Amino acid sequence: MQKWQYLHVRMDHQEVRMVNGQPLEKLKADSSLFVKGQDLHVLLLQAGDEGWELVSHKMPNVGTEVFVFKRPTP
């Protein structure tokens, strides 16, 4: 049975703010995927290059967007 990894990205006013519930400031600096102020199009292209597939997009508040990605567990 296939197992999955999930990635949650929150953007506020077109800027990435949180990844998997953690503020960007607390994430490891070794990921080029999440750069504060990063353009959404660039983020989506990079996520796709790393094997992430967008499975959900929500706008819970004005100016806030939540993206959920998944990829097979290696």
Distance between first and last Cα of the chain: 13
Q: How many CB atoms lie within 10 A of CB 52?
A: 20
pTM across the whole model: 0.79
Q: What is the number of domains present in the chain?
A: 1
The single residue listed with the structure tokens 């993206």 is 67
> pLDDT digit string (tens) for 12-26?
888 888 888 877 766
Domain that holds residue 16: 4-72
Phi, psi of 57 (to 5 degrees): -145, 125
Q: Are 65 and 5 in contact (CB under 8 A)?
A: no
CATH of the domain at 8: 3.30.1410
> pLDDT digit string (tens) for 30-72?
565 665 556 778 788 888 888 999 999 999 999 999 999 999 9
